[in-house]
A and B are shown apart, each in its own frame.
Chain A
């Protein structure tokens, strides 16, 4: 009898589902522009990775070009040297940026945390943060005025103290030092803000208690401040592992102008793809290295996230 009095549960569920779908339709519409952007510029490029199995030609495009099987990989392995060089440069630069960047960010944050003059902190912090807002193109132009062989300030200073001028743009390994310093200059102030914010959240009673016990300033730093920063340092470093294969094309182009003399150390994967495929039109080899970068990039992100999750459950990204 009851079955007649009330609609069948299934039907009721379906009408509820329909009603909520109608309710939700406005949400779908609100998300739609974002969904389209993600599909066009993130998801379709992922599917575009099938390019690696294609013999790309302009008329056929990604999906219409003839299949090439594993030819592009043969090509990839046959010129392994350039792939290895690009990978080495990418990882090497990223590791150096991470180590030096973290060191300076932490050192600056600790130093800021010790200062007592509010005005001094505010001004220096603002100044240190400013380079973060400047593009690599602008930085490259200024750097050129510093490092230019004849007119650059650095060489004129070297000459001033009786040393030989250095042709900075002709020594690939020396230029690694320039890149690392430029990276510290641009981003250490930004990193310091993150660590300084962590320190602002530290309970001051730790310091008061240690002071009463007669701890020196140096002991306060090594026994309280630094340990307070360690979790953030480890976490940001672990998450940074995920980006190890990603290179900054704008940085290399802005600072080196793709100077061929510097390519032995500045030819990162992104630069390599730009040079070979986009500028010279050789898609086969570049597509293989793109696929390799994407796949290993995913593996690295997953590993980094797993490690971060082990280290601290809350900080896992997903």
Chain B
């Protein structure tokens, strides 16, 4: 009797987890099949989970007439992700080293200086005015990563990794006359590489997915990132769909908008999906270190 009750519950758990996982996956299947469908079929029958009239037309269209824009958007996103991640990891790990340096009298002060910004923020508006009017970061490539160079949460995460390095290693280097630069670059960075990989991934994901900075700072189409291009496209489709515009121009819209949107989705998710099996392990570890034992 007891065993049967247990088994029902166990089956329920298997189903619950399976269904939730399926729901997490289905939207991506929808996007992939939509991008491989023909525009006419989608216009006639609506979206579906299986490709309708399997075709690569949308991708051909995007890499034909729109290729300049899409390639540029991709390149912008890649450059921002690479430049941003490399510089942010350097800035962050150097700061993390300082607040974990044993015997440094101001390390508490530096830690609090960073920590306070998690408590209190001036909000978007003063940030926006300063960044555009005083630092002139609007419509510059630097503007799309410099504001994110120090994420305090990730800095603390890296500090946790540095703390786990045995102090004797640092001490013996100090006895040999090594200064802080040498210790940081030659000892701490190599020994703290698990942490570095973890925060690099968090930063890379943040830069790749970022929408806030282009929204606030970019009007120049040459600087559109892939995320911002998608938003721009969606907002325009929404505008066309909501007004009378769709009735009038619906038949005239030559570009395959519906499928193009989903193709863009796939192109934006693709790099994450490719790297995901590798990323996941580090993310799980980072989350656990950051939240349970923070």
Contact = CB atoms under 8 A, between A and B. Distances in A.
B223 interface: no
A13 to B, nearest CB: 13
A227 interface: no
Interface stretch (A73-81, A93-101, A104-112): A104-112
A185 B92 CA distance: 31
A300 to B, nearest CB: 10
A188 B24 CA distance: 10
Nearest to A24: B104
Given A130-B24, A216-B6, A26 B180 contact: yes
B275 to A, nearest CB: 9
Contacts of B117: 38, 42-43
B46 A218 contact: no
Contact of A33 (B27, B94, B179): B94
Given A27-B98, A43-B117, A137-B227, A62 B126 contact: yes
A198 B288 CA distance: 9
A124 B280 contact: no
B288 A197 contact: yes
Contacts of A46: 120-122, 126
B272 interface: yes
B91 A34 contact: yes
Interface string B63-95: 000000000000000000000000000111011
Nearest to A135: B209
A193 B31 contact: no
Contacts of A254: 211, 231
Contacts of B34: 145
Contacts of B268: 135, 137-138
**Majority secondary structure of chain A interface residues (helix, strand, loop or mixed):** helix
Which of B184, B208, B216, B291 has the largest number of chain A CB atoms within 10 A?
Answer: B291
A47 B21 contact: no
Q: Which range contains the number of B residues in contact with the other chain? A: 35 or more
A75 B123 CA distance: 19
Interface in A30-78: 30-31, 33-35, 37-38, 40-49, 51, 56, 58, 61-62
Interface in B188-212: 205, 208-212
A141 interface: yes
Interface in A134-176: 134-146, 148, 150-153, 156, 169
A1 B131 CA distance: 63
Interface in B102-141: 104-106, 110, 112-115, 117-131, 133-135
A144 B234 contact: yes
B165 interface: no
Contacts of B211: 135-137, 250, 253-254
A38 B113 contact: yes
A26 B97 CA distance: 11
A34 B114 contact: yes
A270 B28 CA distance: 29
A277 interface: yes
Contact of B184 (A30, A142, A185): A30
Contacts of B234: 137, 140-141, 144, 257
Given A49-B123, A112-B17, 4 more contacts: A45-B123, A62-B129, A107-B16, A290-B124
Q: Which 7 A-B pairs have the closest CB atoms?
A: A48-B126, A45-B122, A34-B95, A135-B209, A151-B46, A290-B123, A42-B117
Interface of A: 20, 24, 26-27, 30-31, 33-35, 37-38, 40-49, 51, 56, 58, 61-62, 104, 107-108, 111-112, 114-115, 120, 123-124, 126-131, 133-146, 148, 150-153, 156, 169, 185, 188-190, 193-194, 197-198, 201, 214, 216-218, 232, 236, 249-250, 253-254, 257-259, 270, 273-274, 277-278, 283, 286-287, 290-291, 293-294, 297-298, 301-302, 317-318
29 contacts: A30-B184, A37-B147, A37-B150, A38-B113, A40-B135, A42-B117, A46-B121, A46-B122, A48-B129, A51-B125, A62-B133, A115-B10, A115-B14, A126-B276, A133-B205, A134-B272, A135-B268, A138-B265, A138-B268, A139-B27, A140-B231, A141-B262, A146-B27, A151-B43, A156-B46, A189-B24, A283-B125, A286-B125, A287-B126
